Structure 1
């Protein structure tokens, strides 16, 4: 079964290297016959959170926010691609995610994290895991860390080490299990 997956990238820096990882994981989802959409925060230019999407009257949300809401609502699950800034997540990622809430409920998330150094963004991933759970899209147990992002992929998202194909396949196998399980339960019923 194919699923609709929103791959949410979290950096807005000019020379951001993590887009390489975001392109890679999006392509891996597409190769598995999923409808995967790469969400780049620079395409939506959201202001610092003042009003959540749900706080706008029908038809009153800004066009870019409405476009993003369509992607978020139709997704069966989310893959979050996060850098590590000061041992935490990028502010642009938090801001984008915070514009929504109920749209995420009872859908899984997976975390792809990266850094310029050896740890691959895992410290940010631990903070992100807590945030995603609070938002109703708990993350799967596995993460896909990518150390030395500048060396790991080409600009087009092609790994310089073929081991990333195996690692991403294992990560996506687990993510798909949660996609299947939670979609089945959402179709049956949800607690609220």
Structure 2
């Protein structure tokens, strides 16, 4: 596995190696020892999967507050997405900044997003699935979000606002300036 440090501290792009022949390929998608060498001591407690049918579906930007904040290891086993992490750590020099990477079934890449970030994605084609392991259990009382198209974030989503497919919940999320401090 190749671990690539991204422009915001603590975010990692993980590129598992694929060993192939005329039958296809094999890949280790997670090794605890290698992951913990790069990301630190992390324990995953829940594995989630989402399916989005239409191209242009946006899910996010989501996070959970303490004491149920979650780190997420995200991959796209079907389709292709633009995956986004927004730094919500007020003590960070990159507070309010984001990283966007393409995750796909073809590239096999994964994104490690530690607690303290909002996460979202946009499907770049129809029939996309995202699988992610998380470091804390889902807690509806601690579930929060951030406005996906907040101009203050400057995220270049690959879909026009009028064409984006969103849930009612995601349409009602606050802008970063309305959120207040969430993580130190």
Q: Give the shorter-chain TM-score range.
A: under 0.3
- Looking at secondary structure, tell me which structure has more helix per residue: 1
TM-score by length of 1: 0.25
TM-score by length of 2: 0.26
- Looking at secondary structure, tell me which structure has more strand per residue: 2
Q: Which has the higher contact order (CA 8 A, sep 6+)?
A: 2
